[in-house]
A and B are shown apart, each in its own frame.
Chain A
Amino acid sequence: MHELAIAENVVSSVLERTDGRVSVVRLRVGQLSGVVPDALTFCFEIATMGTALEGAVLEIEEQRGRAHCRSCGEEFSMEDAFLLCPCGSADVQLLAGRELSVTSVQVA
């Protein structure tokens, strides 16, 4: 359940950069980041309890995995964690999907 640790990191990151009067916290979570958005939303509520962020809404923008195939030269969207191009090649480079960041907050 590392999402609780992740949620606590989100809370401290936001509190360090604002005075806590925040109504919405927006995250970008890559599909390959290893974080489950539902679990993170659940943990965010727990992590904000008793802090200035209590009651703030968490909005998660999920980012799809994207990779470049060195064999056929195409870029493709990933359905799962497998680094496998639709052409069959496994010689691919991951371009996006591991992100885990606080993109912005709505200051009340």
Chain B
Amino acid sequence: MCSTCGCGEADVRLTTLDQEGSTGHGHGHGHGHVHEHAHADGDHDHVHVERDEELRTHTLELEVAVLAKNDGLAVRNRRWLGERGIVSLNLMSSPGAGKTTLLERTIAAAGRPVSVIEGDQETLFDAERIRRAGARAVQVNTGAGCHLDAAMVSRALEELQPERDSILFIENVGNLVCPALFDLGEKRKVVVISVTEGDDKPLKYPHMFAAADIVVLNKTDLLPYVDFDPDRLTRDAQLINPDVQVLPISAKTGDNFDAWLEWLS
């Protein structure tokens, strides 16, 4: 594993898909890539040392955030994106909630260039769907990894080079647990939940809903067929995250999609 950024441990692979559909090579991970390793503010060591002469040991006070390295890289990603006027959104959900369908429809309707960093453990399926929808995509395959981190996004940005003033979606690995902890440098975190998953998810996965800037309630076209109470979902999500907005849409039929596009703009 790379002890600096941790980016080798899960056999992470990058594959670039341009709009014409040719598969670019994902750069190997021989550490030819240049990325600075920023440090978050407050990442400092105390030199306060308590000695225990009898045991010949001493305590070294560190007080360093465990994810300081990830957070430092996220700060750097955020600055890089901000300088280019790129609006970046981290899309998180269970597998199958409809993230990619949401993106396909968004690409067609956004009115400005869209590019996508696709995170999945395996396959290029999603990046291929994005490319067919008319946007550039880089697929990050995390292997055994269950989430994207800021180092993976940093590498993906070097490959993707999103254009100025565009929208960048980072479609995280489908998982309602682990991605909540890792800042990628995005501007906003979007949690997608579909009506087929059940309205009890905010209380079952509070960390994800606590991290969300907006909750998109997808597949509302299926509401007549499932026991799902949108009011309960909203109430519980706001119990975890009082200011969070819940936006019901159907990415398949386009119902209420204008509200999503308005939020994006």
Chain A residues within CB distance 8 Å of chain B: 1-2, 5-6, 8-10, 12-15, 17-18, 23, 27, 32-35, 80-84, 90-92, 100-108
Contacts and interface: CB of A to CB of B under 8 A. Distances in A.
A104 B239 contact: no
Given A9-B6, A12-B3, 20 more contacts: A2-B177, A9-B70, A12-B4, A13-B69, A27-B66, A34-B177, A34-B180, A34-B207, A81-B207, A81-B210, A82-B203, A83-B241, A84-B239, A101-B64, A102-B66, A103-B62, A104-B62, A106-B60, A107-B58, A107-B60
B206 A81 contact: yes
A69 to B, nearest CB: 12
Contacts of B238: 90
B118 interface: no
Interface in B201-217: 203, 206-207, 210
Nearest to A4: B9
Interface in B227-242: 238-242
Interface stretch (B125-133, B143-151, B253-261): B143-151
Contacts of A84: 239
Contacts of B70: 9
**From DSSP, what is the main secondary structure of chain A's interface residues?**
mixed
A6 B71 CA distance: 13
B22 interface: no
B67 interface: yes
A13 B242 contact: no
Given A23-B57, A108-B57, A15 B66 contact: no
A18 B64 CA distance: 13
Interface in B149-190: 149, 177-178, 180-182
Given A82-B240, A91-B242, A102 B64 contact: yes
B46 to A, nearest CB: 9
B66 A2 contact: no
Given A27-B66, A84-B239, A5 B210 contact: no
Nearest to A7: B66
Nearest to A21: B57
Contact of A5 (B62, B149, B206): B149
B247 interface: no
Contacts of A32: 207, 210
Nearest to A101: B65
Contacts of A27: 66
Interface string B45-73: 10000000000011111111111111000
